[in-house]
Amino acid sequence: MSGYIPVVDFSAYSLDKKNVNDADLETLTEELMQAFTTVGFVYLKNAGIPTAEVNNVFDVYDKFCFQPEAVKEKYSRPVDKTAERHGWMALEREMLSLVGRDQPAPGDLKECFNIHPPLTEGQTWPKEVPEFEPVMMDFYNKCHVIAIRLLTIIARGLGLEDVDGFLGNFQYVGKGRNGTNLRTLRYPPVPDVIKQDQVRCGEHTDFDCVTLVFQDNPGLEVVNTDGEYVPATPIPGTIVVNIGDTLQRWSADKLKSTRHRVRVPESQEEKQRMRRSIAYFFHCDSDVEMRCLDGSDKYKPMLAREYLNQQVGATYLSG
Ligand SMILES: O=C(O)CCC(=O)C(=O)O
Ligand SMILES: [Fe+2]
């Protein structure tokens, strides 16, 4: 662990707690705001999702990945620029990159599945892995509760008078007209020969409000305030939480959406090791009109879905 990304103890407001007392809430608000306004990332410990449940999601997704290619293709996501859409993406199908590259980088060395309820016409759950839907939806719902708690703290930290009113911007999570999705990722062992500039996950910022990341093996790296990459080495039992572009803009840049990537390991031994992660991307409702929360006019009011489309269009490629 680099020590750069702070660890915040969330036990006072963990999943099994109904309420949080004012003093604990105050401490959490201070610690999280300190991190989110500088580093943009924290490790959240004791949030209340047992490690066994995280491992179960990894295992269920492995089971899907081990299905024949023809089975997986049935659940393939349409090829387009809609980053949030439900479905599976084969190895090297997607590339996350920043604006400003001369030419597209090669596709990421990852195989992922976006779970984006409610499913719309033509979308199905993989029936070859019957536990896929219940396990993923249970996990999605737990992440939802944690994300709402984080947003409650952030709203307080930003000094918003009407915290409940702010949370009303997240009422359609999982119900449509909202981009929130759970993404399971599997990075297989890296072959001896790869393309130039090919990585496990290209450098990017997330598009959403906040992201929760669960990871097994090292590889995730985060840009520090000097512009250098530092490792976000997995700490068992923690969730990596980061701010996304939407909340950065909405907060008039008070909260930081920080660039990150998953590099290809250097040692032969590490290359042989697969890496698995789960990312929960928490979005506000698509129809929300984002006005700078500090009352400034740093950015003109904009619909969340328009901003998302703009970001996706500029930095996301899937082919
Ligand atoms: O695999 C990871 O640890 C992070 C992946 C990521 O940053 C993303 O999918 O946005
Ligand atoms: Fe990311």
**Which structure tokens are listed for 98?**
């920043």
- The count of residues in the chain is 319
Q: What tokens appear for 157 in the block?
A: 């930290």
Ligand 2 center–CA 21 separation, angstroms:
32
Ligand nearest to the CA of 279: 1
Q: How far is the CA of 312 from the centre of ligand 2 (A)?
A: 13
Minimum-distance ligand 1 atom for the alpha carbon of 185: 1
Crossing angle, helix 132-157 and helix 51-65, to 10 degrees? 130
Written as one letter, the residue type at 28 is L
* Predicted pLDDT of residue 200: 87
Query: Pick from 127, 135, 130, 137: which is nearest to 74 by CA?
Result: 127
Among candidate residues 149, 211, 207, the one with its CA nearest the CA of residue 185: 211
Q: 82 near 319, Cβ under 8 Å? A: no
Where do we find the tokens 């909405």? Answer: 250
Distance CA 176, CA 288 (A): 13
Distance from the alpha carbon of residue 201 to the mean position of ligand 1, in angstroms: 7
- Hey, what long-range contacts does 296-304 have (CB within 8 A, 24 or more apart)? 296/252, 298/252, 298/253, 299/249, 299/252, 302/249, 304/246
Dihedral, CA atoms, 173, 179, 183, 187, nearest 10 degrees? Answer: -160
Q: What is the pLDDT along the chain (319 residues), one digit of tens a residue?
A: 458 999 999 999 999 998 899 999 999 999 999 999 999 999 999 999 999 999 999 999 999 999 999 999 999 987 666 656 788 987 877 776 654 566 667 788 889 999 999 998 888 999 999 999 999 999 999 999 999 999 999 999 999 999 999 999 999 999 999 999 999 999 999 888 888 878 888 889 999 999 999 999 999 999 999 999 999 999 999 999 999 999 999 999 999 999 999 998 888 999 999 999 999 999 999 999 999 999 999 999 999 999 998 888 776 666 5
Kindly report each contact of residues 77-85 with a partner whose C-beta sits within 8 Å and lies 24 or more positions away, as own/partner: 77/114, 77/318, 79/318, 79/319, 80/318, 81/312, 81/313, 81/316, 81/317, 81/318, 82/312, 83/207, 83/312, 83/316, 83/318, 84/114, 84/116, 84/179, 84/181, 84/281, 84/283, 84/308, 85/114, 85/116
- What does the alpha-carbon distance between residue 145 and residue 156 come to, in Å, rounded to a whole number? 17
Task: Pick the atom of ligand 1 nearest to 281's CA.
Answer: 10
In angstroms, how far apart are the furthest CA atoms of the chain?
56
Domain membership flag for residue 2: no
Identify the pLDDT of residue 97.
63
Is 79 inside any structural domain? yes
- Do 42 and 232 form a contact (C-beta atoms < 8 A)? no
- Report the separation in Å between the CA atom of 58 and the middle of ligand 1, taken as the mean of its atom positions: 14
Is the residue at 263 inside a domain? yes
Secondary structure of residue 203 in the 3-state scheme: strand
Q: Locate tokens 């490792």: which residue? A: 231
Choosing from 260, 274, 278 the residue with most ligand 1 atoms within 8 A of its CB, the one to mutate for a pocket test is 260
Q: Does some domain include residue 1?
A: no
Q: Is residue 181 lining ligand 1, measured as CB closer than 6 Å?
A: no
Query: Which residue is it, tokens 């991307």?
Result: 281
User: Which residue segment(s) compose the domain that 221 sits in?
Assistant: 7-318
Atom in ligand 1 nearest the alpha carbon of residue 240: 3
Number of H helices, E strands in the chain: 8, 16
pLDDT at 82: 64
E-strand ranges in the chain read 7-9, 41-45, 87-89, 94-96, 111-115, 181-187, 201-204, 210-215, 220-223, 229-231, 238-243, 260-262, 275-282, 289-290, 302-303, 316-318
Query: Does the beta carbon of 243 sit less than 6 angstroms from any atom of ligand 1?
Result: no
Q: Is 277 in the pocket of ligand 1 (CB under 6 A)?
A: yes
| Integer Cα distance of 96 and 104 in angstroms | 9
Neighbours of ion ligand 2 (CB under 5 A): 206
Q: Whose CA is nearest to atom 8 of ligand 1?
A: 279
In a domain, 254, yes or no: yes
Cα of 59 vs centre of ligand 2, distance in Å, is 21
In this prediction, residue 165 carries a pLDDT of 97
Q: Which listed ligand is nearest to 112 at the C-alpha? A: 1
pLDDT at 201: 85
On whether residue 223 sits in a domain, the answer given is yes
213 Cβ inside 6 Å of ligand 1: yes
- Give the total number of structural domains in the chain: 1
In this structure, what DSSP letter does residue 209 have?
A: S
Q: What is the pLDDT of residue 67?
A: 96
- Give the mutation target among 277, 278, 315, 317 for probing the ligand 1 site: most ligand atoms within 8 A of CB: 277
CATH number at residue 137: 2.60.120.330
Residue 29 lies in a domain: yes
Is the Cβ atom of 215 under 6 angstroms away from ligand 1? yes
- The pLDDT score that the predictor gives to residue 1 is 44
